[in-house]
């Protein structure tokens, strides 16, 4: 069993439990549920850096990254640094995240927030809206083409933007649908967790111009962002290189300034 298969298997059991504890009508009573979502797409179109900063405590490949800094300090630091948006890991078992993290981030920042998790059920999209997310993540490697269409169409009804994550040309061709807003190329193979930034370069021309495209994973140098901009990428998801430092916000600020100085 691959790491992705293990995560999805566990996630199915987890979602069933969550549905019983917090049914749909409970989630729909959330204060955030009536909020107007913020558009990451519009911010990325105008940004010079395109940085989407991630709050990430640990991962299956790197184990603990940073579990010492309070999330409010990280979010305030990212906000001050001038990032375009934030990605909040909400998976507890494999990434040490939580919906509480998402809620806390929403109470701190007005920037667009991506709920980063392994979406396998419409319930999680309602959950994302209820806890303050503006975007949801759909991973092509974990979903059928039909699920991607149904989930993305449903997300649009809740006024949420949709980030489709792909890793190969086959995933891209088989999963695109008009209700997708952003196509993210993950440079990390979710089956082996190996990283190769060249994947973004190889797939760049295959992504239709109708979609904003971003690059994810393995982006640890401003020079990588500058290089990928030449391939038409508007956004760059950066987590570990910020989170492994003592001050993620300060690291993000320095990273962004270096990019802007090159433009």
**What is the pLDDT at residue 201?**
95
Are 162 and 155 contacting, i.e. CB atoms less than 8 angstroms apart?
yes
> SS3 helix, strand, coil % of the chain, rounded to 5?
45, 15, 35
pTM, 2 dp: 0.95
Q: Using an 8 Å Cβ cutoff, are 4 and 141 in contact?
A: yes
Structure tokens at 20: 């019983």
> Which pLDDT score, from 0 to 100, does residue 67 have?
82
Q: Residue 263's pLDDT is what?
A: 65
What residues make up the domain containing 193?
A: 3-262
Which one, of 127, 161, 194, lies nearest residue 52 by Cα?
161
Q: How far apart are CA 41 and CA 45, in angstroms?
A: 6
Q: How many CA atoms lie within 13 A of 24 on its CB side?
A: 5
Dist CA 261 CA 254 (whole Å):
11
What is the number of domains present in the chain? 1
- pLDDT tens for the chain, 263 residues long, are 788 899 999 999 999 999 999 999 999 999 999 889 999 999 999 999 999 999 999 988 777 888 889 999 999 999 999 999 999 999 999 999 999 999 999 999 999 999 999 999 999 999 999 999 999 999 999 999 999 999 999 999 999 999 999 999 999 988 999 999 999 999 987 677 778 899 999 999 999 999 999 999 889 999 999 999 999 999 999 989 999 999 999 999 999 999 998 76
Rounded Cα distance between 134 and 32, Å, is 10
Residue 205: φ, ψ to 5°: -70, -15
In DSSP terms, 63 is beta-bridged to 59
CATH at residue 198? 3.20.20.70
Alpha carbon distances (Å) from 170 to 74, 119, 141: 36, 20, 10
Q: Name the nearest CA neighbour of 139 among 147, 129, 131.
A: 147
């Amino acid at each position: 069993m691959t790491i992705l298969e293990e995560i999805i298997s566990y996630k199915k059991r987890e979602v069933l439990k969550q549905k019983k504890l917090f049914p749909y009508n409970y989630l729909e009573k959330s204060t955030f549920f009536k909020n107007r979502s913020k558009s990451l797409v519009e911010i990325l179109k105008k940004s010079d850096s395109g940085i989407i900063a991630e709050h990430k405590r640990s991962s299956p490949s790197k184990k603990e990254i940073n579990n010492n800094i309070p999330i409010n300090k990280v979010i305030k630091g990212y906000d001050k640094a001038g990032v375009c948006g934030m990605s909040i890991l909400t998976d507890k078992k494999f990434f040490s995240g939580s919906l509480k993290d998402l809620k806390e981030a929403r109470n701190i920042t007005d920037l667009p927030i991506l709920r980063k998790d392994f979406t396998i059920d419409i319930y999680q999209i309602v959950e994302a809206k209820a806890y303050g997310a503006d975007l949801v993540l759909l991973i092509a490697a974990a979903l059928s083409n039909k699920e991607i269409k149904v989930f993305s169409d449903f997300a649009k009804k809740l006024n949420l933007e949709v980030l489709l994550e792909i890793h190969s040309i086959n995933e891209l061709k088989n999963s695109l649908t008009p209700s997708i807003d952003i196509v993210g190329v993950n440079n990390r193979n979710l089956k082996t967790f190996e990283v190769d930034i060249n994947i973004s370069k190889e797939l760049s021309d295959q992504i239709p111009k109708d979609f904003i495209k971003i690059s994810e994973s393995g982006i640890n140098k401003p020079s990588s962002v500058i290089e990928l901009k030449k391939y038409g990428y508007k956004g760059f998801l950066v987590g570990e290189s910020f989170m492994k430092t003592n001050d993620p916000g300060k690291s993000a600020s320095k990273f962004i300034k270096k990019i802007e100085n090159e433009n």
